[in-house]
């Protein structure tokens, strides 16, 4: 078999498709590389310049906020104390009216109790006629009534004493709160004055910096021509001639 026949008998091999390069992968690689290069070239952020005035203003604002909270707490303590004081004053007025009604029944409680015990003892141990016993029972009931009124009046007077003590304590407490409130308001006035001064200084500094940043206008040199020089010389000569003539 000749070479030509052998080649014709062999199976024909199809040509392999040429492998085109993956453009997407290459583009991603290039983008990553460009991003890294850009990060290298970007300068780091400049450090913030210190601002002592701004720090002091922030500190004063914090002091004002803290003092305002304290002032709010003081006011919150004053209100219920004043309400309680008003209630006690009204209670005292009502009890005083009741006490003035019972002033005629202010006999000694111990004396009335002894009289009652004596009458009860006589009724229990002695023999009386029916009328005499009824008279003792009537006296006993009268003494019991007087004793009840005296005890009531005594209790009202004691309650008035307790109310007076409560009023005195509440008054002192409120005066203490009011003093604390005045001191807090004075401190707030000092803080606000300091804050206004700091804000004014900072405003002036900003204005000064803005003026310094503004471009200055260059003064152009005055140009004098030869004609101007000639006119000046003529005027000078005429003035000298006039002085000589005089």
The three state secondary structure string of 188-211 is: HHHHHHHHHHHHHHHHHHHHHHHH
Of 165 and 214, the structure prediction assigns the larger pLDDT to 165
What's residue 198's pLDDT? 83
DSSP string, 31-95: HHHHHHHHHHHSPPPPPPPP-HHHHHHHHHHHHHHHHHHHHHHHHHHHHHHHHHHHHHHHHHHHH
What's residue 50's pLDDT? 63
What whole-number percentage of the chain has pLDDT above 70?
A: 58
pLDDT tens figures, 191-202: 999 888 888 876
Residue 220 has pLDDT above 50, yes or no: yes
Residue 235 has pLDDT above 80, yes or no: no
Residue 20 has pLDDT above 50, yes or no: no
Residues 21, 34: Cα–Cα separation, whole Å: 20
pLDDT tens figures, 147-174: 888 888 888 888 999 999 999 999 999 9
**Mean per-residue pLDDT over the chain, rounded:** 76
Sequence-ordered list of residues with C-beta below 8 angstroms from that of 104, at least 6 positions apart, any chain: none
Decide if domain 52-209 falls under CATH 1.10.287: yes
Q: Which of 39-53, 170-184, 189-203 has the lowest mean pLDDT?
A: 39-53
What's residue 124's pLDDT? 87
What's residue 150's pLDDT? 84
pLDDT tens figures, 67-125: 999 999 999 999 999 999 999 999 999 888 876 655 555 567 888 888 889 888 888 88
What's residue 208's pLDDT? 63
pLDDT band at 23 (very low <50, low <70, confident <90, very high): low
């Amino acid at each position: 078999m000749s070479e030509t026949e052998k080649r014709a008998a062999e199976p024909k091999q199809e040509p392999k498709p040429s492998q085109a390069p993956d453009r997407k992968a290459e583009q991603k690689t290039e983008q990553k590389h460009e991003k890294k290069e850009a990060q290298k070239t970007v300068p780091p952020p400049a450090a913030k310049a210190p601002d002592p005035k701004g720090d002091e203003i922030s500190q004063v604002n914090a002091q004002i906020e803290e003092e305002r909270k304290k002032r709010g707490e003081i006011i919150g303590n004053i209100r219920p104390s004043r309400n309680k004081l008003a209630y006690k004053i009204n209670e005292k007025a009502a009890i005083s009216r009741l006490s003035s009604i019972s002033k005629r029944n202010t006999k000694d409680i111990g004396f009335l109790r002894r009289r009652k015990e004596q009458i009860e003892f006589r009724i229990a141990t002695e023999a009386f006629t029916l009328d005499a016993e009824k008279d003792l029972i009537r006296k006993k009931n009268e003494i019991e009534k007087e004793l009840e009124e005296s005890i009531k009046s005594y209790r009202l007077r004691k309650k008035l004493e307790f109310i007076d003590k409560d009023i005195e304590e509440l008054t002192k407490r409120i005066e203490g709160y009011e003093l604390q409130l005045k001191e807090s308001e004075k401190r707030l006035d000092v803080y606000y004055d300091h804050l206004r001064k700091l804000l004014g200084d900072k405003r002036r500094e900003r204005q000064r910096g803005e003026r310094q940043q503004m471009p200055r206008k260059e003064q152009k040199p005055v140009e004098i021509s030869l004609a101007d020089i000639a006119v000046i010389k003529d005027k000078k000569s005429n003035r000298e001639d006039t002085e000589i003539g005089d």
